[in-house]
Every structure is written in structure tokens, then in C-alpha cells.
């Protein structure tokens, strides 16, 4: 689709729509992309990112990352920082329904040759132990009080029950628990939906994948060594999931509340109901912030339990302890969050609420929030591609401050799920992938068709855009050999 006539190319990978593009824009809207990626954008992205630019208290720019595509309220890949001291708002549409949908990367000392004889058994066993699909339930049976403890304590709750190692917390964003979560701010319906969902993948674009790094895929040997993924033909496990129905209910509850109070109580108008919001410092804004943090922590708990199950399966199938195979967490990164951070805007240090919707935090080298062993190299960043093409481990860079230290989170879609279902047959796709050496298990062949590689942007082009734009740099590329899809 042709880009708007007002779109100005600021640099080879930054494009801007000025405030004159749409009445009510408070800041320009910027899209980080190569020309090829810009040509793939639909009008909905331009509409949404400029609507975001109209939000009260927004600072500097509204952004869309290289994997950007149409979403709910914000585009997927949308980023906006609001200033609470300037009437800044918090918007569930800028966070998403699957709060803290995120990625984990687990390294091993295993090689492709070592696991090849066991690959199908590993995938089959993981498919049994890590439930996937709509409505799937985990192996933990919790009472409401226990669930509330879990969502307030985060991944540390798992370690207290034997589901993980102490270093897992150090290698998780926010050390697996964002402070200020308050279970008193979540509804009974949200608790009911979340009770049985810990330790599950869910559906849609969520997956668990066994991958291999070939020698030519190690792109930054120094950083790769620091992250523990510098061996030829090294096996890693990557998975992508979030807060499931619990996070969805939290977002739904507060969207309804914000729609009721936004205009009559606070005099706020938005260009799209999906951008319903409230002043961050208002009672409603603070209640949602505390509830949203519960969903962030639930997702950390979910991924921590899944990591425990992965270690169990590898130990059983390969007949030795997970520790002896070097199964250590590289990092856990969150998407779909809003966090208070300090950033410099126009030469002033400001405390901002950074909304990242389908976008990844990517702190640069030296940032104090990073583990000491990674500080010289920047934050590990995990960007998943399709099950056909591969995924990447990147690192944050110093110049990432131009996007509030934010980068892409995946390859991004180029067509709707309905279009993908019409174009591909899930059963045939499964057979084709196996013929190419990628063994896939799925709970839904329709869902598998939706995630066909051809429905996504070129992951290599997305990564190149982040590199050229100076918002993250590639470290290792991984190729899939086994995959579980919801």
C-alpha cells in the first residue's frame, strides 16, 4: 500500500509523520523500518501510530518498530512514553491483552548431532508436558490464595517450590518480579481464568522450539561467548508465551472502567475507543498499574514453570541431569508492558511510563539493571521469527536511547490469520516442514496454517532494520529443528 504523502524519510531506517498529519497529534510519529518494510505496511499502522501520538502527556515521539503491523489500539510494535507530571496517561491498548507475552532462551552444551536421534522423542514429550492450545491447563492445581501469592511474588514463588535455579531470576527481566503488584486490584473472574493456566503455552503465535546455531550464524563472537551461545551447532530452546486468559481479563476489566471514566471524570477524548486510558496518577490509573503488574508477574511464573518442565524432559530423554547438559537460562524478555523508567528527552532527565506493545526493552551496555556478566555487552534481546525461518539473539546498544531503549519483538505479520488459513493447509505444512528437517507438533492445524512462514515479514530484514537504525545488534541466528505450536 502506498505510504502517506506526508511521510518523510529522516534516515535510511527512520520515517516520520509530522504533527500536521492529523489534528490532535501532540508529537510526531516515527516508524523504524527499511524501505522494503515500509512498503509492506498497511494504512492501519499509520492510522494507529498517529492516534497514539495524540495521547495526553506523550513525550518526544510515538514509535512503531520494524516488525510493526495493525493491532488493538496501538499497532503491534508500538511504543509510547508518557510523562505523569504532564498529564500522562496509562492505556491498556498500549500494553495488550496478553500482558508480558515474552520470550525465554535456554542454552545447552548439546550439539545438533547429539540430539538428532532423540529429537522426535524430545518434541513429543515436551508436547505432553507443556500444554498448548486454547483452554489448555497446566499441571499445577492452585487455590485462589496461592495464585494471588504467585502473581505478587513472581518467579521467586516458583523457586521456593523447587521450579528453577537462583540464576534464573538474575537472567530474567525485573528479576522475575516487578514490584507493586497488588492482587486486591484484580477481579475474581481474572483469578478464575488464571488458576489452571500456569505452565501452559496457549495458542496463536506462542510456541516452544528446539533450535541450532550453525557456525556461520554466530555474528558477534564476543557477545555470544558472554551470553553462552558461541559453540558450533549448539542446541538452544526458545519459547514464547504470556499471561494467558488472566492477563486478558485484567485488560478487559480496566478497559471497561476507563471507558466509563475517561471523558466524564477526566475530560479525556481519544481518536479510537481502543486507546481508552486514564491519567497515570489517578486512582483508576494506579489500580490498573498494580493489576497489570500482577499479570506481568503471572507471565514470569508461567515461563519459569515451563522452563522447569523443559529441563525435566531433557533430563529424562537424554538420561542425565539438566545441569550436566548446561541448561541455563540466557535471558527472559518481556513484551506488552508499561514500566516507569528514566530517560533523557531534549536534554532533560524525565521519569516516564514507557508502553511497549509487541516491542522489547533493549538496554545498552553499562545499564545498571543488567546482570554484571552482561553489562559490558548490553541486554540480551530475543526476537522470534517464524517456525520456518529462524530466530535471533541480539544485544542492546548505546544508541537505543532514541527509541527509549526499545527494539522489535518478532518478525511481524504481513497478512491476517484468516488470509493465512485460506492460503496454507496445516497438515500439508507440517509434512513439508518435516521434509525440511523441522519436526512440528500442534494442537490445531488451522492454527499452524496461521503461523506459516509466508504470513510473516522477512526476519532477516527486520533484524537488519534494527541494526541499521542503531536500536539493537544481532549476536546469533538460530535455525529451528523441532517446534510445538498451540
Active site residues: 409
* Rounded Cα–Cα distance for residues 235 and 476 (Å): 12
Choose among 334, 339, 340, 332: nearest CA to 237: 332
Contacts of 462 (CB under 8 A, 6+ apart): 37, 66, 67, 383, 408, 410, 411, 412
Contact indicator for 396, 470 with CB cutoff of 8 Å: no
Choose among 250, 270, 257, 442: nearest CA to 338: 250
Contact indicator for 274, 127 with CB cutoff of 8 Å: no
Beta-bridge partner residues of 14 = 11, 32
- Render 302-358 in DSSP notation, one character per residue: HHHHHHHHHHHHHHHHHTS-GGGGT-EEEEEEE-SEEEEEEEEETTEEEEEEEEEES
* Rounded Cα–Cα distance for residues 14 and 34 (Å): 8
The three three-digit cell numbers of residue 259, written as one number: 471507558
- In this structure, what DSSP letter does residue 75 have? P
The three three-digit cell numbers of residue 338, written as one number: 508499561
Amino acid at each position: 500500500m502506498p505510504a502517506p504523502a506526508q511521510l518523510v524519510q529522516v534516515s535510511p531506517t527512520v520515517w516520520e509523520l509530522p504533527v500536521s498529519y492529523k489534528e490532535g497529534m501532540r508529537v510526531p510519529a516515527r516508524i523504524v523500518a527499511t524501505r522494503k518494510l515500509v512498503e509492506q505496511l498497511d494504512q492501519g499502522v499509520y492510522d494507529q501510530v498517529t492516534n497514539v501520538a495524540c495521547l495526553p502527556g506523550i513525550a518526544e515521539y510515538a514509535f512503531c518498530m520494524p516488525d510493526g503491523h495493525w493491532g488493538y489500539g496501538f499497532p503491534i510494535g508500538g511504543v509510547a512514553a508518557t510523562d505523569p507530571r504532564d498529564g500522562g496517561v496509562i492505556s491498556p491498548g498500549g500494553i495488550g491483552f496478553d500482558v508480558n507475552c515474552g520470550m525465554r532462551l535456554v542454552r545447552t552444551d548439546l550439539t545438533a548431532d547429539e540430539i538428532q536421534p532423540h529429537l522426535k522423542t524430545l518434541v513429543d514429550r515436551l508436547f505432553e508436558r507443556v500444554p498448548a492450545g486454547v483452554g489448555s491447563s497446566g499441571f499445577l492445581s492452585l487455590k485462589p490464595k496461592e495464585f494471588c501469592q504467585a502473581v505478587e511474588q513472581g518467579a521467586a514463588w516458583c523457586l521456593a517450590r523447587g521450579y528453577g535455579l537462583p540464576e534464573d531470576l538474575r537472567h530474567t527481566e525485573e528479576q522475575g518480579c516487578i514490584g507493586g503488584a497488588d492482587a486486591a486490584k484484580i477481579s475474581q473472574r481474572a483469578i478464575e481464568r488464571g488458576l489452571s493456566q500456569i505452565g501452559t503455552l496457549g495458542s496463536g503465535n506462542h510456541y516452544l522450539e528446539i533450535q541450532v546455531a550453525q557456525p556461520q550464524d554466530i555474528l558477534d563472537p564476543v557477545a555470544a561467548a558472554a551470553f553462552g551461545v558461541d559453540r558450533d551447532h549448539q542446541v538452544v530452546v526458545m519459547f514464547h508465551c504470556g499471561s494467558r486468559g488472566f492477563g486478558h481479563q485484567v485488560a478487559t476489566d480496566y478497559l471497561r472502567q476507563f471507558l466509563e471514566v475517561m471523558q466524564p471524570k477526566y475530560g479525556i477524548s481519544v481518536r479510537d475507543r481502543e486507546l481508552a486510558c486514564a491519567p497515570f496518577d489517578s486512582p483508576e490509573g494506579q489500580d490498573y498499574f498494580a493489576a497489570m503488574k500482577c499479570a506481568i508477574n503471572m507471565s514470569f511464573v508461567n515461563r519459569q514453570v515451563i522452563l522447569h518442565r523443559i529441563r525435566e524432559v531433557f533430563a529424562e530423554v537424554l538420561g542425565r541431569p539438566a545441569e550436566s547438559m548446561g541448561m541455563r537460562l540466557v535471558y527472559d524478555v518481556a513484551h506488552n508492558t508499561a514500566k516507569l523508567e528514566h530517560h533523557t528527552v531534549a536534554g532533560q532527565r524525565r521519569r516516564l511510563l514507557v508502553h511497549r506493545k509487541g516491542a522489547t526493552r533493549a538496554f545498552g551496555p553499562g545499564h545498571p539493571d543488567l546482570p554484571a556478566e552482561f553489562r559490558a555487552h548490553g541486554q540480551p534481546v530475543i526476537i522470534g521469527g517464524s517456525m520456518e525461518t529462524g530466530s535471533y539473539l541480539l544485544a542492546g546498544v548505546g544508541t537505543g536511547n532514541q527509541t527509549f531503549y526499545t527494539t522489535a519483538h518478532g518478525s511481524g505479520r504481513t497478512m491476517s490469520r484468516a488470509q493465512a488459513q485460506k492460503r496454507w493447509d496445516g497438515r500439508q505444512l507440517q509434512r513439508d516442514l518435516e521434509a525440511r528437517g523441522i519436526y512440528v507438533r500442534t494442537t490445531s492445524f488451522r492454527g499452524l496454517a496461521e503461523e506459516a512462514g509466508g504470513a510473516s515479514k522477512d526476519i532477516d530484514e527486520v533484524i537488519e532494520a534494527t541494526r541499521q537504525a542503531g536500536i539493537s545488534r544481532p549476536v546469533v541466528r538460530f535455525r529451528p529443528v523441532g517446534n510445538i505450536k498451540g
